[in-house]
Structure 1
Amino acid sequence: MRVSKKNVFNVVFLITVFALTLYGVFHGQDMGQILGCIKQCDIRYWMISILFVVFFVEGESVIIYYMMKKVGQNHVKFLHCILYSFVGFFFSCITPSATGGQPAQIYYMKKDKISIPIATVILMIVTITYKLVLVLLGVGVMIIRPEAVMNFLSPVLYWCYLGIALNCFCVGFMLLLVFHPTMAKKILFFGLDILVKLKFVKRREYHEERLNKSMQQYSEVAVFFQANKKVVFNVIIITIVQRFLLFFVTWLVYRSFGFKEHGANLIMVLQGMISVAVDMLPLPGGMGISEQLFLQIFAPIFKSYCLPGMIVSRGLSYYTELILSAILTIVAQLTIGRRKD
């Protein structure tokens, strides 16, 4: 892909946030002691964790391949769907609020002779269901308020409520665009009018054209939803499994330190609430805030091993994903769209 100023900015932003995160986490800490704690871990749990991270990414591959077949794109290869997923996760990991993932996926799908409208509809459905699972988890926890969970969340409830509100707004607005396009169009054009009057936006005709094009894409998503309710339901189920595969990594890390006191369900829900809290924040991969929330929530669970536990957990669930995705993005660049001699 062509290197742009935006991509350069994203890389610089990622490195800056990463450096600040390292400073915030390790400043004043005894690195020798931390490494000593990590060396005591049972790395067999880490190996399983890496498999779960791969399965997590490939969960999206299954969804993309499944829907491609449902819309008649029978020429699409499953191995290429795996590459689309890793490309998406790589660019999501390095861009604020994961905004770079879908454009990159569409770029490679186009190279595979998949029309942009079809690719856009499928990826919109992936996004809606992906965020919907977080909304269901967050709202469910806040309604049921299980005592065991709420005790650990109490130090970070503000972030949880903020994350739930932002995700609810995002999913709600996307569904509004899908099922009530006329109302959504009025809201969007009203907002554009305000921005033009305040002189925050110029080239009104250009932005009106882009909004109309976006509305057309959401109309196509609405048609797909209405005609394929069972398919959408299946996608939601796969997404739930996919999400919890990644949350399960934290429990595997917990077990790698030799702890047995708390069950997988509790730890997965707590890790899920971290995802709810940080998913919509304008930070690549929730970097910085994810580490801080982990240290606050899991301090009573990991006890004196909380910082080493956070390092291993984030290393496996985020940085392993980032590295694998970077490697397979290179593979995608070298293989997708190339002519066979």
Structure 2
Amino acid sequence: IFFPGIFFEFTLSCKVMILFGIFSMVLLTLCFIVLLKKKTVLLKAGSVIFFILRKLHFKNLAAKLETRFNKGLEKYNLCVNELSGTKGLYSKVFFLNLLQRASQILVPVFVYFALHGDYSNGFMIFIIQCYVVVGSNFLPMPGAVGISEFIMVFGYSMLMSNDMAVGLAIASRGISFYTCSIVSLFTVILGYIFIKFIQHRGKSEV
């Protein structure tokens, strides 16, 4: 937490969500590193789960899950081998993800300026939105619908009226998340159609 002054201005419920979000991100990062570097941890975890299921007389379920686990493990090994051979890929992915996050966080700042907000508060809006992004990890669902808006309204209310804070939150979420999701959905659909078209044309030429 690099800006404790802003953090302590949040309500208790917002603070809990933000702290839980920080804990979740640290835990997931550590888990990702461990699973990437220590395959034995993944194997032991799977063995324990299958052992417990068999002890509970869910032998068929354990067998099905173990088969899926082994298939997934083969794909996991391929991914690890590819990633270990391209160390520069980590830096590229991290940098692109950082830019993507920064662009989303900057949306409320420019929406605030568009609403004739004080330019001197731009940095504060950016920091508040950073806390919103962290706190959104409190709820394990895409976009943390409800949680983000809740923290946004309370955070923005530090700098403006409640009505303006609600308007800023709705407009910002509409642009940064919902519009982004819709554009991404159409991009994936168009990409899928394009790939299928190329495959179909390739088969017809043969």
TM-score normalised according to structure 1 size: 0.52
> For structure 2, which runs of at least 5 residues remain unmatched after alignment?
none
Q: Which residue of 1 aligns with 2:3?
A: 146
- SS of the residue corresponding to residue 302 of structure 1 reads coil
Equivalent residue in structure 2 for 1:324, among 183, 190, 194: 183
Between the aligned partners of 2:113 and 2:189, the Cα distance in structure 1 is 34
From the superposition, tell whether residues 201 and 326 of structure 1 become closer, same or farther in structure 2 (CA, over 3 Å).
Answer: farther
From the superposition, tell whether residues 152 and 219 of structure 1 become closer, same or farther in structure 2 (CA, over 3 Å).
Answer: farther
Q: Which residue of 2 aligns with 1:254?
A: 112
8 Å CA contact 1:153, 1:297 repeated in 2: yes
Equivalent residue in structure 2 for 1:158, among 10, 13, 16: 16
Q: Which amino acid aligns with 1:187?
A: A
Between the aligned partners of 2:188 and 2:88, the Cα distance in structure 1 is 32
Between the aligned partners of 1:306 and 1:161, the Cα distance in structure 2 is 22
Identity of aligned residues (%): 23
Q: Which amino acid aligns with 2:174?
A: G
Between the aligned partners of 2:133 and 2:40, the Cα distance in structure 1 is 32
Counterparts of residues 222-241 of structure 1 (less than 5 Å): 222-241=80-99
Alpha-carbon deviation of 1:154? 5.0
From the superposition, tell whether residues 225 and 333 of structure 1 become closer, same or farther in structure 2 (CA, over 3 Å).
Answer: closer
Equivalent residue in structure 1 for 2:75, among 206, 213, 217: 217
Aligned residues: 197
Alpha-carbon deviation of 1:258? 1.1
Alpha-carbon deviation of 1:185? 1.1
Verify: 1:300 aligned to 2:141, yes or no: no
Can you list the C-alpha shifts for 1:244-276, whole angstroms capped at 9, x where unaligned? 111110111111111123133x32332222222
Equivalent residue in structure 1 for 2:125, among 267, 276, 286: 267
Q: Which residue of 2 aligns with 1:93?
A: none
8 Å CA contact 2:107, 2:172 repeated in 1: yes
TM-score normalised according to structure 2 size: 0.82
- SS of the residue corresponding to residue 301 of structure 1 reads coil
From the superposition, tell whether residues 315 and 168 of structure 1 become closer, same or farther in structure 2 (CA, over 3 Å).
Answer: same
Q: Which residue of 2 aligns with 1:207?
A: 65
Q: Which has the higher contact order (CA 8 A, sep 6+)?
A: 1
Between the aligned partners of 1:177 and 1:213, the Cα distance in structure 2 is 16
Can you list the C-alpha shifts for 1:287-310, whole angstroms capped at 9, x where unaligned? 111111111122112324111111
From the superposition, tell whether residues 201 and 291 of structure 1 become closer, same or farther in structure 2 (CA, over 3 Å).
Answer: farther
Between the aligned partners of 1:170 and 1:202, the Cα distance in structure 2 is 31
Verify: 1:337 aligned to 2:196, yes or no: yes
8 Å CA contact 1:177, 1:218 repeated in 2: no
From the superposition, tell whether residues 328 and 192 of structure 1 become closer, same or farther in structure 2 (CA, over 3 Å).
Answer: same
> For structure 1, which runs of at least 5 residues remain unmatched after alignment?
1-140
Q: Which residue of 1 aligns with 2:173?
A: 314
8 Å CA contact 1:181, 1:215 repeated in 2: no
